[in-house]
């Protein structure tokens, strides 16, 4: 049975089921790329505005293609891009990942843009989201704070130190770990080691604190085996590589088969 609120509300509904979700990660701003990945067994699709080439226009043209597969779409905004959050939710995005949320003040600004009063300051105008959700305006207003998910990225020493306070902010639904940036921060810029011991220790800490707060935790993964490992550790949302990497891997595999 389809979730109440359709694909727009599906992310929160699937989080409540307690099963780990694997998201495709798209930086290529061509809507058909996300549409093709949504046709595979991914649970959701994430569109990247920080390091990917997506912008509001490409995202607004992509959401319906993913929703046609009955799947929710997330978006990662640029660093400090809180002003884009409400527009993306209006377009039908189900969850926002905000990078470099290092302080309680960052978390509060993020939550304010994603949640309607009295929890936040989101203004009214969710035309496409209303159409995709099938909800009445009154019902959308009443329920949106629950199904429009906010994930604050934890990727610095400062963020780790403030983790409990960030998780305690009303309107922050969970966190998302950026292991590459976290490895750079933990090594003071000495190297890139997203699967190293320092990051793994930080992940255990982040998992324990997030579970204590009763919230969600996601992470980026570079490979299938690492994704299986992260599922076993209890992560709620795992991004499996990226569209460019998957395209290259598929091409390389096909060429190996063709050339023997």
Q: Is 51 tagged catalytic?
A: yes
pLDDT class for 250, splitting at 50, 70, 90? very high
Interacting residues of 45 by C-beta distance below 8 A, sequence separation 6+: 23, 24, 26, 34, 37, 38, 66, 71, 73, 74
**β pairing state of 174-177 and 216-221:** parallel
93-150 pLDDT per residue, tens: 999 999 999 999 999 999 999 999 999 999 999 999 999 999 999 999 999 999 999 9
Catalytically annotated residue among 51, 157, 211, 248: 51
Give me the domains of the chain, ranges plus CATH numbers.
Answer: 7-259 (3.20.20.60)
Mean pLDDT across the chain, nearest whole number? Answer: 97
DSSP code at position 51: S
195-231 pLDDT per residue, tens: 999 999 999 999 999 999 999 999 999 999 999 999 9
Interacting residues of 118 by C-beta distance below 8 A, sequence separation 6+: none
d(Cα 175, Cα 230) in Å, to the nearest integer?
Answer: 15
CB half-sphere exposure, 218, CA atoms < 13 A: 30
């Amino acid at each position: 049975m389809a979730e109440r609120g359709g694909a727009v509300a599906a992310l929160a509904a699937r989080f409540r089921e307690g099963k780990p979700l694997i998201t495709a990660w798209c930086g290529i701003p061509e809507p058909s790329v996300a549409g093709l990945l949504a046709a595979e067994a991914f649970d959701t699709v994430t569109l990247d505005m920080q390091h990917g080439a997506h912008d509001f226009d490409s995202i607004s043209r992509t959401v319906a293609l993913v929703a046609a597969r009955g799947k929710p779409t997330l978006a990662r905004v640029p660093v400090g891009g809180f002003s884009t959050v409400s527009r993306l939710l209006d377009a039908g995005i189900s969850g926002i990942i905000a990078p470099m949320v290092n302080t309680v003040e960052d978390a509060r600004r993020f939550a304010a843009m994603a949640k309607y009063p009295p929890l936040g300051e989101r203004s009214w105008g969710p035309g496409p989201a209303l159409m995709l959700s099938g909800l009445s305006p009154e019902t959308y207003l009443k329920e949106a704070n629950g199904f429009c998910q906010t994930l604050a990225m934890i990727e610095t020493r400062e963020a780790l130190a403030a983790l409990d306070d960030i998780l305690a902010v009303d309107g922050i639904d969970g966190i998302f770990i950026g292991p590459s940036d976290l490895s750079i921060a933990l090594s003071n810029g000495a190297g890139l080691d997203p699967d190293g011991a320092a990051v793994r220790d930080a992940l255990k800490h982040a998992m324990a604190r997030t579970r204590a707060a009763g919230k969600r935790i996601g992470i980026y993964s570079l490979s299938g085996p690492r994704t299986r490992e992260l599922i076993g550790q209890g992560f709620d949302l795992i991004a499996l590589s990226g569209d460019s990497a998957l395209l290259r891997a598929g091409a390389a595999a096909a060429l190996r088969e063709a050339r023997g």
